[in-house]
Amino acid sequence: MKFYNTLSKKEEEFKPIDKNEVRMYSCGPTVYNYAHIGNLRTYIFMDILAKTIRKNGYNLKHVMNITDVGHLVSDADDGEDKMQKASEREKKSPYEIADFYAKAFFKDIEKLNIRKPDIIAKATEHIPEMIEYVQQIVNNGYAYETSSGLYFDISKLPSYGILSGKNLAGEKAGARITVDEEKKNPFDFALWKKAPENHIMQWDSPWGRCYPGWHIECSAMSKKYLGEQFDIHTGGVDHIPIHHENEIAQSIGNNGKIPANYWMHGEFLLVDNGKMSKSLGNVYTISELEERGFDALDYRYFCLNSNYRNTLNFTFVGLIGAKKGLERLRNLVKVHSTSNEDVSDKEIEDYRKSFLDAMSNDLDSPKALSIIWEIARKQNKSKKYADLIGEMDEIMGLDISIDKILERENKEEDKLEQSLDIEIKQLISEREIARQNKEWEKADKIREQLEQKGIRLKDTKEGIKIEKILE
């Protein structure tokens, strides 16, 4: 496998620390609101990475955090805690907020066929580990206290900025971040914040009643579950200049090491070529896409058509294209699945290899999809092709294996049946009775009535199938 490493700024051959087990940490969501489709693009990237690693024969230990305290409105320690703000907005405790939105997040990722990481670690459940971690940074002389908290002293770390290539000498205080007179350097960041009285989440610590800075949870929890050094660290590109830079600084302050060997970042999703923003009303969630008639996997397919390292522009026209493409792909797989024509094992093996090569080449999902399409479009039809695509779907997660396709069809039918109103249900059963009594004319008339109401009935070997007639 070859991955682009933000740390070395080049593509590198992947060599895990241990021969068989890969250890990976992914920065997870701040659970103060529903995840938007931009956030979810980053987790789709994380998912195909995890699955590609596993498909290459490695065991993977995958940890993801849930930020339920300490992420301030600005990534650079300014403003209110996002959880506190949400708690005031919704008049619920921050724990209720975290619980509600974490559940919503896990529902979303399930719909997107994103496998839940093996270990999910909540910040609020790791306060003692964080205190211990920070204490070590203090003992090693990398921190100082002010009236607002405990800060990391970046002057002690000449390599600060190693990930983003940030030139601190060239940055002026106050240009991007507000000046705190007590801080020695404007880029010094909070390890531990002293809690104002009204701050709901606060804990006793050697530095008073406090709450953790945003970055410390990832350092403390990755160390706890994966050790001081592990293989891969993932997140979105916005994490490079602050959050991940600071995680590296904390680790060096704590134990002298850069925590991960490979740092991988998913590029941003734009909407209509711009940033998503509440004021523009273009911050979409998965439920909103569903309300507009899309399936979560239409969005996954939309994302996989582009490389994770490119910005991707979301439009509904693009999503409609993805929906149609995915439908077509499933239909082609269905046709293959009913044919017993033989194809050579070599051909299958060659496709299998070129698919995994594409994904192992820095997750080239567009190329991997083009291989799937090539197989789907084969003029000679064979169940072997359908099975091969099903195997590839273990990484792609698009429900294009024959089992998943049939399962989806059944579910859709059940859903349709449940949504039918009483009048239609009655007509369907009247027609059934007419058929049993061999009153064919009556049965046909009812069928026509139903078609006028947008419902088509198909008599199949397995019984009657109900379909909605699309305009």
Burial 97-130 (b: 16+ CB within 10 A, else e): bbebbbebbeebbebbbbeebeeebbbbebbebb
- Which ranges in 208-315 belong to alpha helices (H)? 214-226, 245-255, 286-291, 296-304
38 binds ligand AMP per the rule CB under 6 A: yes
**How many Å is the Cα radius of gyration of the chain?**
27
Q: Which is nearer to ligand AMP, 242 or 443 (CB)?
A: 242
Picked from Zn ion, ligand AMP, none, the partner binding residue 268 (CB below 5 to 8 A depending on kind) is ligand AMP
DSSP, collapsed to helix, strand or coil, labels residue 263 as strand
Q: Which residues pair with 23 in a beta bridge?
A: 61
Count Cα neighbours of 49 within 13 Å in the Cβ-side half-sphere. Answer: 32
Residues 6 or more apart from 344 whose CB is under 8 A from it? none
Residue numbers of the site for Zn ion (CB under 5 A)? Answer: 27, 218
Q: From the list 70, 212, 213, 235, which residue makes contact with ligand AMP (rule: CB under 6 A)?
A: 235
Q: Which of 240, 163, 153 is nearest to 190 (CA)?
A: 153
Tell the smallest beta-carbon distance from residue 206 to ligand AMP (Å): 28
Q: Which residue is nearest to ligand AMP (CB)?
A: 236
Residue 465, strand partner residues:
458
CB of 80 to ligand AMP, least distance (A): 15
Cβ at position 65, least distance to Zn ion in Å: 6
Q: Which does 38 bind (CB under 5 to 8 A by kind): ligand AMP, Zn ion, none?
A: ligand AMP
Q: Which is nearer to ligand AMP, 39 or 222 (CB)?
A: 39
CA distance 314 to 297: 15
Contact yes or no for 70/98 (Cβ under 8 A): no
- Provide, rounded to whole angstroms, the least separation between the CB of residue 241 and ligand AMP: 11
List 6, 39, 52, 382, residue binding ligand AMP (CB under 6 A): 39
Q: Are the C-beta atoms of 30 and 67 separated by less than 8 Å?
A: yes
User: Could you say which of 30, 261, 360, 365 contacts ligand AMP (CB under 6 A)?
Assistant: 30
Closest approach, Cβ 282 to ligand AMP, in A, equals: 11
Tokens for 407?
A: 């399962």
Q: For the chain, how many helices (H) and strands (E)?
A: 15, 15
In the list Zn ion, ligand AMP, none, the entry touching 183 (Cβ below 5 to 8 angstroms by class) is none
State the binding partner of 203 from Zn ion, ligand AMP, none, CB within 5 to 8 A by kind.
none
d(CA 430, CA 417): 16
- Considering the rule CB under 6 A, would residue 219 count as an interface residue with ligand AMP? no
Q: Which of residues 3, 16, 34, 42 is near ligand AMP by CB under 6 A?
A: 42
Structure tokens at 163: 């990930």
Minimum distance from residue 29 beta carbon to ligand AMP (Å)? 4
In the bound state with ligand AMP, the residue whose beta carbon lies nearer, of 67 and 261, is 67
Beta strand 143-145 pairing with 455-460? unpaired
Q: How far is the CB of 363 from ligand AMP (least distance, A)?
A: 15
Q: Which residues bind ligand AMP (CB under 6 A)?
A: 27, 29-30, 38-39, 41-42, 235-236, 238-239, 266, 268-269, 276
